[in-house]
Structure 1
Amino acid sequence: MSANTQSMIFTIYGDYIRHYGSKIWIGSLIKLLKEFGHNEQAVRVAVSRMVKQGWLLSERKGTKSFYSLTTRGMARMDEAGDRIFKFEDHEWDGKWRMLLYKIPEDQRQIRDELRKELLWSGFGSFSASCWISPNPLEERVQALITKYDINEYVDFFEAVYKSEDNLNLVEKSWQLAEIEQKYEAFVAQYSRSFIAHQAAIKQNVLNDADCFVVRTNLVHEYRKFLFIDPGLPKELLPTNWNGREAKLLFSQYYRLLAEPASRFFEAVFEEDNDLASKESGYDAHSHPLIVEE
């Protein structure tokens, strides 16, 4: 249960706590996670692990323990939020960013971590140790080189593809058909429940706690696409890319549940936390940030 608990805690930090000062009392967090069937021990174990991993900081105030996002945690949520809540297709500048590395075997752990980070950022690979992206990720790449201190093992290029059509390069580097299948499954599942919850809200039979659970689960499921969808520009996507339909459904569903879900969170949060730390100008309809574990 702990791994699932940790993943859900990330979602709640990104979708709610990030907008209320990024800090919460452990008791409030336990109460929120109870709505999803996670017990107190699982929450405490997961939070302790997140502290060790560098995502959270612990702070004692009297007899109470509070947990806040680290700089690293907030930076990752900012990056993820920019991607997951970007509903417009972006245009391509026609250039490819290419990263090649040759990291020694005795630094294999760093090499494996780098691969995870590159996949997370949307890079694809059509050959060993050669990663590409059509997106302007220069700052992201430089941050990774600095983080892992691998400048001597890395070469980074900005290039134009001349061998074939650019769509052929996309086909070699990403499994778009598999991603489309997952989007199709998401749309099939959540379009039905969206219609049902629209009716339930109109009939006033869906309470705030229910909306909190449904919205959080929605975000939790949709954010998984961050790990598989590279966020390609429209010029490199299939004409009928069903990721667009999934994004529209997610956006509409999210807004449907936004106000009652936020009311429930605030009702729990305000008991033992400082609501004055709520970010200025935050709106329940705004686009929150998502984090990855």
Structure 2
Amino acid sequence: MGMNTRSMIFTLYGDYIRHYGNEIWIGSLISLLKEFGHNEQAVRAAISRMYKQGWVESTKKGNKSYYYLTERGVNRMEEAADRIFKFKPAEWDGKWRMLMYTIPETKRNARDEFRKELVWSGFGAMSTSTWISPNDLEKQVKDLVEKYEIEPFVEFFVSEYKGPNDDAKLVEKCWNLEEINEKYQEFISYYSQKFIIDRNKIQNGEMTDAECFVERTSLVHEYRKFLFVDPGLPEELLPKKWLGNHAASLFSDYYRTLAEPASRFFEQVFKEGNEIKHKDESYNVLDHPLMIEP
């Protein structure tokens, strides 16, 4: 499963660095990504691109460069973590959030970025400029509208669907759940076998901390991709043979198995050139505050 460097850096910030003061020396980042076969040049190019895109800021201490997430980056990581580690579908209030926009051609870039963010947040398109979601996303919408300065061009409603079809038909029109289910099946097929093998290896002391670090990071990296395809619909709107819950349980079990040795390796690399004392004292990798049992 291919992993590009920039995407891997996001995964490392989300699953590790944000719990350790949210800042890392570029040398440590290079060492960590070496474990996945990424070279120094690729890491420097990727972090530079993230800097230009406003995801990270840099600071110098002596002759060392450190990178930390901007407020925008922190907010995105928190939102992503909330969705990755929250395995119970939200309870539905029966209402639909509807967003309509008429963003002019002069703001085409903002319109394209706004559309990508809507998909990431879990909205589905009824038509080119009409989007819906059953989830309470008012805050996200407000933040996005402000971010792209498109207040005059957007209308947002909280409404009830009165037919003529049922809610399931509405879901079918806006999301391809069959395709998403197939992606979950691929994830389950690949990782259920891998989980058993790795669990046995760990129990028998046949897996190094570095290997656990690579597997845990790869696992989160792959599971994180569902944020871009699964809208996180409430249980009432999902098909009977929905595989999302099975995938979430598998992810949770596998993550917990790899968690401690992976963290040990991360800390071993991190303590060279970084302030380990900035680690969040309340952070417990086995009792993640956002991890909810199914």
Matches within 5 A, 1:121-160: 121-160=121-160
Q: Describe the SS at the equivalent of 2:286.
A: coil
Matches within 5 A, 1:116-195: 116-163=116-163, 164-195=165-196
Aligned to 2:63: 63
Q: CA deviation digits over 1:121-151, x for unaligned, max 9?
A: 0000121200000000001101111111111
Q: State how far apart, in whole Å, the 1-side matches of 2:286 and 2:30 are.
A: 25
Matches within 5 A, 1:82-101: 82-101=82-101
Which amino acid is the alignment partner of residue 219 of structure 1? V
Cα deviation, residue 287, structure 1: 3.4
Q: State how far apart, in whole Å, the 2-side matches of 1:107 and 1:67 are.
A: 31
Q: CA deviation digits over 1:203-262, x for unaligned, max 9?
A: 100010000000000000000000000000001011221001000000000000000000
Q: State how far apart, in whole Å, the 2-side matches of 1:287 and 1:152 are.
A: 41
Q: Describe the SS at the equivalent of 2:4.
A: helix
Q: State how far apart, in whole Å, the 2-side matches of 1:17 and 1:205 are.
A: 27
Q: Describe the SS at the equivalent of 2:231.
A: coil
Q: State how far apart, in whole Å, the 2-side matches of 1:149 and 1:46 are.
A: 28
Q: State how far apart, in whole Å, the 2-side matches of 1:153 and 1:191 are.
A: 47
Aligned to 2:231: 230
Q: TM-score, normalised by structure 2?
A: 0.96
Aligned to 1:201: 202
Cα deviation, residue 288, structure 1: 7.9
Aligned to 2:27: 27
Conserved? CA contact 1:19–1:288, under 8 Å: no
Percent of matched pairs sharing the same residue:
63
Q: Does 1:102 align with 2:102?
A: yes
Q: Does 1:285 align with 2:291?
A: no
Q: TM-score, normalised by structure 1?
A: 0.96
Q: Does 1:37 align with 2:59?
A: no
Q: State how far apart, in whole Å, the 2-side matches of 1:286 and 1:98 are.
A: 36
Which amino acid is the alignment partner of residue 45 of structure 1? A
Q: CA deviation digits over 1:159-194, x for unaligned, max 9?
A: 111111101100000000000000000000000000
User: How many residues align structurally?
Assistant: 287
Q: State how far apart, in whole Å, the 1-side matches of 2:153 and 2:104 are.
A: 8
Conserved? CA contact 1:56–1:68, under 8 Å: yes
Conserved? CA contact 1:59–1:66, under 8 Å: yes
Which amino acid is the alignment partner of residue 85 of structure 2? F
Aligned to 1:73: 73
Cα 1:85–1:227 change in 2 (3 A) is: same
Q: State how far apart, in whole Å, the 2-side matches of 1:288 and 1:182 are.
A: 27
Q: State how far apart, in whole Å, the 2-side matches of 1:206 and 1:122 are.
A: 37
Q: State how far apart, in whole Å, the 1-side matches of 2:20 and 2:287 are.
A: 13
Q: State how far apart, in whole Å, the 2-side matches of 1:39 and 1:282 are.
A: 30
Conserved? CA contact 1:23–1:67, under 8 Å: yes
Q: Does 1:246 align with 2:250?
A: no
Gaps of 5+ in 1: none
